[in-house]
Amino acid sequence: MAMWQEHRRFVIHSLKDLGLGRTKIEEQMQDEIKHFQEVLKSFKGQPIDLAARFTPSMSNNINTLIFGKRYDYDDPERKTLDENLDEISKISGQTATHIFFPWIKRVPFLLNWLGFEKGFKLFKVSEEIFRKQVEEHKKTLDRKIIRDFIDSYLVEMEHRENKQEKTSLGDEELVGLVTGLFSASTEIVRVSIEWLMYTMASFPDVQKKVQKEIFDVLGPERNPEYRDQKSMPFTHSVILEVMRWKSVVALNVLRYTIADTNVVGYDIPAGTIVMANFWAVHHDPRHWKDPENFEPERFLASDGKSIVKSPHYMPFSIGKRACPGEIMANMEVFLYFVSILQKFDVHFPDGYMPDFKGIHSVIYKPPSAEIRFIPKN
């Protein structure tokens, strides 16, 4: 079995064992959302920067899953991880040039100019934090009480070693896996929710319709649960449409061919870098009417009471290498979106004109903007 297959299979089983799809992870998210709502309330409707306020809450959800703990919002280690991730994302977008001009990798001053060295140093700092977490878990591991993802991996690795099974599970592989999970889970979900907030502030009529559905199902006080999504088709359609319309991951993670192959008549030699263009799929007029427009109704059945998904909707990729954290990401987006609109009205400051030309990096981000979260009475 290939390394990616073994690790993907382990991640899926481990997430289920840790409570994904059941109430445990959902309850942890709801606790974090309560902390976040108090932060929003503290600003009393004053304009705030989206990314700065959303980041610590989003990263705490994956921290709880991987490390078994949440960080205070001003914790220096949490700040380092999140700031490094943001900077590496920017640098990665700049350095993508080498994909199309491979010779750049052999010109040191160009690599430095593009930010390779800086990005590598930041990556190593974050990696050391994750490595320290792994070592601390080894010292305190109780095989009868699995606290988090790192515990789960260590126990499984030890089990396979004791049975003398051939396995790719190892210490360095665990550090790499944790690094990847943290990076993907934190930024992609956060930016998706930022786009949702930006869109709601831009389309107040849609916001009011979502809020009406929330109040019809939940009332003003009951916390949303992921299963409530089935009773909120319009709210669900808004989430689906924003994730299609503003495809946060426009291009998939790079792959390369391991053998010569042929795709619809095109010969592709071994070693060719391959990218899936999700943006193109999500904006193809052959599959979507007026794809550049924001139209949540495209995901609703004719009676408006249920969701109709298109086979051309793929924000988390498709096939054997689709994102293993898709369920958790969808849960997180839904719970935050509904919880915020249940308690707050979302508006831009007076005079601000929304601009839907986002910021391109590895992740497609909304324009830099401040938003007002006005507590509901």
DSSP structure class, residue 211: H
Q: b/e map of 269-288 (b: 16 or more CB within 10 Å)?
A: eeeeeeebebbebbbeeeeb
Pairing state between β 273-274 and 266-268 = unpaired
Q: Alpha carbon of 297 to those of 158, 227, 289, 316, 349: distances in Å?
A: 51, 21, 11, 21, 28
- Please give the Cα distance from 60 to 65 (Å, whole number): 9
Output phi, psi for 369, to 5 deg.
-160, 150
| 3 state DSSP class of 256 | strand
- Please give the Cα distance from 150 to 253 (Å, whole number): 24
Nearest to 57 by CA among 48, 209, 305: 48
Binding residue positions for heme: 323
Tokens of 293: 């427009």
Tokens of 229: 């999504």
Instruction: Let me know: does 219 contact 372? Beta carbons within 8 Å.
Output: no
Residue with tokens 């080498």: 98
Helix axes 3-17, 149-162, angle to 10 degrees: 120
Q: b/e map of 364-376 (b: 16 or more CB within 10 Å)?
A: bbbeebebbbeee
Can you list the alpha helix ranges (DSSP code H) found in 219-305?
233-245, 278-282
Binding residue positions: 323
- Please give the Cα distance from 235 to 169 (Å, whole number): 41
Angle (CA) 250 128 163, round 5°: 90
